[in-house]
Amino acid sequence: MANVRIGFFSFTEITDPAEHRSYNEWHQLDHMPEQFPIPGVVFGQRWVSTPACRRARAFDDPALASVHYMTLYLMGDPVDPTLEEFRALGKRLRAAGRFHEHRRSRLSGPFAVTGLQAAPRVLVSAESIPFRPNLGIYVTVRTGRHAVASDPSAPVSAAGQHGAADDPDVSLARALLEVEGVAGVWTFATDGRFERHGWRPGEKTITVCYLDAPPLSAAPRLGDVVRAAVNENSWSVVFAGPLETITPWSWDWFDDDT
């Protein structure tokens, strides 16, 4: 398994309330499986912002307020050929009629991995956290970019993160780790070197907390931690909230909206 260098994020809105089931069926059974044969695609997972999750958000800027789902693909070497084939595959599937038409991407693109930490209680390494089963995640998206490595192919380790111990993003990750139910925290940042592949999400930093407690139970405390970091660092946060892990064929969260 390749070392993870980047995370490809997609924050997605479903534009027709009646299409959630068809979207989930398409993405889980057709679209996502096609990505894994691409060399360099290490892993992928999706989460849902249920109506209850949306109510539990600590920050809900209009830019991302309408998001229903988040997908994260982890990618390793070869980074550039992987991104090229990832984009080309999307075009081929769309041309073949295998693309969902009732979706809108609110934020998408490749982000460099800039930090990773694991809670001591979980025993596994920080590098292993995304592969450990989770009940959901808590995601923070802020404008502004964490410092990235001079070499985008350089591996990031828990012992040698990009950024000093007093770096605000590192401090945030450590504070989040102290919340009950947080198994680990990974941090990602946009990198202008990836713009040549066609995605331009702007300068942003994304923090992902992997949870082994119900996301809604952890959300209030995590929201407090994020608010404290925002006040301390004068950050502009456009999204902070919980999302639940998606169980295949259990897609009824929005049925009452149709």
pLDDT by residue (tens digit) across 181-219? 999 999 999 988 888 888 888 899 999 999 999 999 999
Q: Check residue 258 and give its pLDDT.
A: 60
When the pLDDT of each residue in the chain is averaged and rounded to a whole number, the result is 91
Q: Check residue 201 and give its pLDDT.
A: 84
Secondary structure E strands in 119-153: 136-143
Q: Which residue is associated with the tokens 């038409």?
A: 101
Q: Check residue 126 and give its pLDDT.
A: 96
Q: Check residue 151 and give its pLDDT.
A: 52
Give the count of domains, the chain.
Answer: 1
Q: What is the pTM of this model?
A: 0.92
Token pair, residue 226, equals 């994020």
Domain containing 45 equals 4-257
Q: Check residue 2 and give its pLDDT.
A: 61
In which residue ranges of the chain is pLDDT below 70? 1-2, 146-165, 258
Q: Check residue 35 and give its pLDDT.
A: 95
- Note if the bond before 51 is cis, omega within 30 degrees: no
Token pair, residue 44, equals 């992928």
pLDDT tens, position by position, 140-174:
999 987 655 545 455 444 434 444 567 999 999 99
Phi-psi region of 146 (alpha: psi -120 to 50; beta: other; left: phi over 0): beta
| CB 148 within 8 Å of CB 202 | no
CB atoms within 10 A of CB 167: 17
Q: Check residue 83 and give its pLDDT.
A: 95
Q: Check residue 110 and give its pLDDT.
A: 95
Q: Check residue 236 and give its pLDDT.
A: 96
Query: For position 34, which CATH number holds?
Result: 3.30.70.100
Task: Please give the C-alpha separations between residue 95 and each of 27, 99, 103, in angstroms, as whole numbers.
Answer: 16, 8, 16
Q: Check residue 157 and give its pLDDT.
A: 46
Q: Check residue 98 and give its pLDDT.
A: 87
